């Protein structure tokens, strides 16, 4: 068995931090040697989260202590599970010392820095700008080969920008179709799917808001309630999705993204809508029988994810349920064609703190170091 790599978690007591620890404790090739928390520094992690009593009692340190610690301990990888703006300032110093970083915040997700500033209002220095150019967008199902190759091509530490939770669920709904259109185009075929007009209606559990003490996050405000928010391009994940789709498909894509807040802790469900280009059906040996189109849609998605450990296409008649992926890095997808309206509806669920954050971060780590992609991420099913 290879030697364990030593990792640190910055911002360990937030929800993505604690989920990282929960998962990494079960990873055979990782040793957690430092966890930081500004609020709880000096306390044992298990004092903050008694669930970890006798399981993970490591003392939290401050971020400013991490440089020395990382040298002393020979830390290889740091997860930033921090509010936006921290990694932007601190990542560079570690990267230059050869430490890899997986950033779960939004600091390095957007290549377009103007858009980033518009949505996040955070200034960045030149180091951060340079680093942003190097950062790899860590949507594993799209960029696995790039991540696998990263250590070879980059002398310094590698920086992976872990995608947002909504963008993960949403992208995995559309990816197969973006890819299909791209390959069609490359083969001089007409695009079968109108992907210039995607609507993504997404719903997230409350852990997506993090462990922030605001009135809006209180139990009595979230419980037995459901609401939309930040409609019409006001949510930060809207431009993240558009940039990623545009890069991936090599076409400028705008889309309508509508987030909603669910009265439950974990899970995201994205319902996506786009239309079929009926004019192109014949090029793909299809007439417009709904059954055939449904089969084709299923085939496209199944084929695209055939080597994925985590993405599973449900059988006809089954619908994705957030409860079925809870605690896991799994993704359940269903696709259906509505013959009366010519709409294709894709429904995808993830656990927002796992595949939407910490699980995907570990998947990225596995890819980066050439581990099995699903190492430490298997068999976490939690039905009850």
Chain positions 188 to 207 lying near a copy of itself, rule: CB under 8 A, are 197, 199, 201, 203, 205-207
**Interface with a copy of itself: number of residues (CB under 8 A):** 89
Contact present, 374 and 310 (Cβ < 8 Å): yes
Sign (positive or negative) of CA dihedral 46, 52, 53, 55: negative
Region of 67-75, 85-93, 161-169, 327-335 interacting with a copy of itself (CB under 8 A): 327-335
- What mask of x and - would describe binding to a copy of itself in positions 235 to 254, judged by CB under 8 A? -------------------x
Give CA–CA dist 84/230, Å, rounded: 18
Sign (positive or negative) of CA dihedral 28, 33, 34, 35: positive
| Residue 125: other Cβ atoms inside 10 A | 11
Region of 80-88, 151-159, 167-175, 346-354 interacting with a copy of itself (CB under 8 A): 346-354
For tokens 């995907």, name the residue: 360
Q: Cβ of residue 141: shortest distance to a copy of itself, in angstroms?
A: 16
Q: Residue 193's closest CA among 175, 172, 207, 205?
A: 175
Q: Cβ of residue 20: shortest distance to a copy of itself, in angstroms?
A: 11
Q: Cβ of residue 213: shortest distance to a copy of itself, in angstroms?
A: 5
Give the pair of three-digit tokens for residue 193.
């799917």
- What mask of x and - would describe binding to a copy of itself in positions 44 to 63, judged by CB under 8 A? ---x-xxxxxxxx-------
From 107, 141, 336, 373, residue interacting with a copy of itself (rule: CB under 8 A): 336
From 9, 19, 124, 364, residue interacting with a copy of itself (rule: CB under 8 A): 19
Contact present, 245 and 174 (Cβ < 8 Å): yes
Q: Cβ of residue 194: shortest distance to a copy of itself, in angstroms?
A: 12
Q: Residue 166's closest CA among 133, 113, 207?
A: 207
Nearest CB to a copy of itself, comparing residues 6 and 312: 312
Residue 228 engages a copy of itself in binding (rule: CB under 8 A): yes
Q: Cβ of residue 55: shortest distance to a copy of itself, in angstroms?
A: 6
Instruction: For 169-198, give one letter per residue: b (16+ CB within 10 A) or e.
Output: bbbbbbbbbbbbbbebeeeeeebbbbbeeb
Give the pair of three-digit tokens for residue 141.
């199902």
Region of 18-26, 58-66, 163-171, 367-375 interacting with a copy of itself (CB under 8 A): 18-26
SS3 332: strand
Residue 381 engages a copy of itself in binding (rule: CB under 8 A): yes
Residue 292 engages a copy of itself in binding (rule: CB under 8 A): no
From 260, 280, 286, 295, residue interacting with a copy of itself (rule: CB under 8 A): 260
Strands of the 100-103 sheet, one edge to the other: 30-35, 5-10, 77-80, 100-103, 159-161, 136-137
In the annotation, is 60 catalytic? Answer: no
Q: Which residues are catalytic?
A: 165
């Amino acid at each position: 068995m290879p030697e364990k790599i030593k990792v640190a978690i910055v911002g360990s007591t937030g929800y993505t931090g604690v989920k990282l620890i929960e998962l990494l404790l079960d990873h055979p090739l990782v040793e957690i040697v430092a966890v930081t928390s500004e609020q709880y520094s000096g306390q044992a992690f298990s004092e903050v989260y008694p669930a970890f009593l006798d399981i993970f009692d490591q003392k939290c340190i401050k971020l400013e202590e991490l440089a020395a610690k990382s040298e002393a301990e020979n830390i290889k990888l740091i997860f930033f599970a921090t509010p936006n703006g921290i990694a932007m300032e601190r990542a560079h110093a570690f990267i230059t010392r050869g430490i890899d970083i997986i950033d779960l915040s939004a600091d390095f997700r957007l290549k377009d820095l103007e858009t980033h500033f518009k949505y996040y209002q955070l200034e960045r220095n030149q180091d951060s700008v340079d680093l942003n150019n190097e950062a790899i967008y860590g949507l594993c199902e799209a960029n696995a080969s790039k991540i696998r190759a990263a250590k070879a091509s980059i002398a310094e530490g590698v920086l992976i920008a872990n995608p947002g939770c909504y963008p993960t669920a949403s992208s995995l709904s559309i990816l197969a179709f973006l890819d299909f259109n791209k390959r069609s185009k490359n083969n001089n075929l007409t695009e079968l799917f109108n992907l210039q007009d995607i609507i993504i209606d997404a719903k997230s559990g409350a852990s997506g808001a993090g462990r922030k003490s605001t009135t809006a996050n209180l139990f009595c405000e979230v419980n037995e309630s459901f609401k939309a928010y930040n409609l019409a391009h006001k949510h930060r994940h809207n431009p993240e999705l558009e940039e990623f789709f545009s890069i991936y498909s090599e076409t400028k894509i705008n889309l309508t993204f509508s987030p909603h807040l669910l009265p439950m802790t974990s899970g995201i469900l994205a319902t996506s809508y786009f239309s079929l280009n009926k004019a192109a059906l014949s090029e793909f040996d299809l007439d417009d029988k709904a059954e055939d189109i449904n089969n084709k849609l299923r085939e496209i998605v199944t084929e695209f994810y055939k080597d994925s450990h985590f993405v599973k296409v449900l059988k006809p008649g089954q619908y994705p349920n957030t409860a079925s992926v809870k605690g896991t890095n799994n993704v359940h997808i269903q696709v259906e064609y509505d013959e009366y309206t010519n709409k294709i509806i894709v429904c995808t669920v993830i656990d927002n703190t796992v595949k939407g954050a910490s699980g995907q971060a570990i998947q990225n780590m596995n890819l980066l170091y050439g581990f099995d992609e699903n190492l430490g991420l298997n068999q976490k099913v939690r039905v009850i």
